[in-house]
């Protein structure tokens, strides 16, 4: 009976080890998608943006025009094309290297929600990320400017 108990304990530990490793691997891949997304603007790196986002990505921002608010949309083509611009031109701290801050808010199966920002730009992004064909890709982005106190 003791042998069976040890076997089940070992099996449980093996399962927990695998689950923890898979979770860590997913967390790293989710974080890397956000880093690739943010760095691609700064470094004007089109392949890096293509690696980060899904072809059906939607990026949205609420803008105020003449006293009312609108939702501005951007898709894959515009996102990827913007990486051709010199992203460092708009950097806030040109004397400092880019630092990307990623906070994973939730992971549930093959979907995740994250918040990302940098030390170089005055905006932050909330992102929905999905694991598609084994790769974590950004599907939705909702962004706004940082509030300055």
83-118 burial: b if 16+ Cβ within 10 Å, else e:
beeebeeebeeeeeebebebebeebeeeebbbebbb
- The pLDDT value recorded for residue 149 is 47
Separation between Cα atoms, residue 110 and residue 20, nearest integer Å: 15
Query: pLDDT tens, 21-58?
Result: 555 799 999 999 999 999 999 999 999 999 999 999 99
With a threshold of 0.75, does the pTM exceed it?
yes
pLDDT averaged over the chain? Answer: 88
Q: What is the pLDDT of residues 53-76, one digit of tens each?
A: 999 999 999 999 899 999 999 999
- Could you list the beta-strand ranges (E) of 28-110: 53-65, 68-75, 100-108
Domain around 15: 2-145
Hey, is 94 helix, strand or coil? Answer: coil
pLDDT of 138 strictly over 60: yes
Tell me how many domains the chain contains: 1
Distances (CA, A) of 118 to 31, 35, 124: 13, 9, 8
CATH of residue 95: 3.10.450.50
């Amino acid at each position: 009976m003791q042998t069976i108990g040890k076997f089940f304990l070992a099996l449980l530990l093996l399962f927990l080890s695998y689950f923890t490793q898979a979770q860590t691997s997913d967390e790293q891949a989710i974080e890397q998608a956000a880093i690739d997304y943010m760095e691609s603007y700064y470094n004007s790196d089109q392949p890096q943006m293509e690696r980060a986002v899904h072809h059906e990505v939607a990026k949205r921002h609420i803008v105020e025009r003449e006293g009312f608010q609108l939702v501005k949309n951007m898709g894959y083509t515009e996102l990827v094309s913007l990486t051709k611009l010199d992203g460092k031109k708009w950097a806030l701290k040109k004397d400092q290297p880019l630092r990307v801050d990623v906070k994973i808010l939730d992971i549930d199966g093959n979907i995740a929600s994250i918040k990302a920002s940098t030390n170089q730009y005055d905006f932050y992004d909330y992102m929905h990320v999905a694991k598609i064909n084994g790769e974590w890709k950004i599907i939705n982005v909702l962004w706004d400017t940082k509030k300055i106190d």
